C-alpha cells in the first residue's frame, strides 16, 4: 500500500473547490483543487503534467480574504486529469489556515484533533 492510500484512511479529505498555483521545476501552472486533507491534496488539470511521480512542487491555495495556504509537496498519484500530492512541509500560518478550513468543513472537532495527533506521530 502506498503512502497516499494510507493517508486516505487516516486523514479525512474534504471536497473544496478552489484554484491553486503549482510551482515546480517545469514552471508554474494553475490547477483546480478537488479535495484537501492534513496530509495531501487532489488537484485536477486537463493536460499532462510535466512532473514525474516523486517530483516536488510548491502549492499555493488562495482562499477568501487574502488567506494563503502554502505547502511543499511531492507528486504521489497521476491519472490525468487527477493528480495527488503528499504534503511534505507546511509553515505554521498555512497550517493554522488549513486546520480552520478543515474544522469548518468537518464539523467534528474531536476527529480533527485525532488526525492532528496522528500527524505528529508520523
DSSP structure string for 81-109: TEEEEEEEEE-HHHHHHHHHHHHHHH--H
Give yes or no for residue 108 having a pLDDT over 80: no
Q: Which residue's entry shows cell 493554522?
A: 96
Q: What is the per-residue pLDDT for 122?
A: 55
Give the tens place of pLDDT for each residue, 59-102. 999 988 788 999 999 999 999 999 999 999 999 999 989 888 88
Higher pLDDT residue, 116 or 61? 61
Half-sphere exposure of 55 (CA within 13 A, CB side): 17
pTM of the model: 0.79
C-beta neighbour count of 25 within 10 angstroms: 10
For 25-46, write each residue's pLDDT tens digit.
989 999 999 999 888 999 999 9
Amino acid at each position: 500500500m502506498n503512502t497516499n492510500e494510507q493517508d486516505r484512511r487516516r486523514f479525512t479529505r474534504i471536497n473544496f473547490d478552489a484554484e491553486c498555483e503549482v510551482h515546480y521545476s517545469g514552471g508554474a501552472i494553475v490547477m483546480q483543487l478537488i479535495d484537501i486533507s492534513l496530509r495531501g491534496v487532489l488537484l485536477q488539470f486537463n493536460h499532462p503534467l510535466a512532473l514525474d511521480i516523486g517530483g516536488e512542487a510548491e502549492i499555493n491555495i488562495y482562499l477568501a480574504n487574502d488567506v494563503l495556504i502554502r505547502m511543499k509537496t511531492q507528486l504521489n498519484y497521476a491519472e490525468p486529469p487527477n493528480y495527488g500530492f503528499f504534503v511534505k512541509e507546511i509553515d505554521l500560518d498555512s497550517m493554522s489556515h488549513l486546520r480552520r478550513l478543515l474544522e469548518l468543513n468537518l464539523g467534528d472537532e474531536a476527529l480533527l484533533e485525532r488526525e492532528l495527533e496522528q500527524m505528529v506521530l508520523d
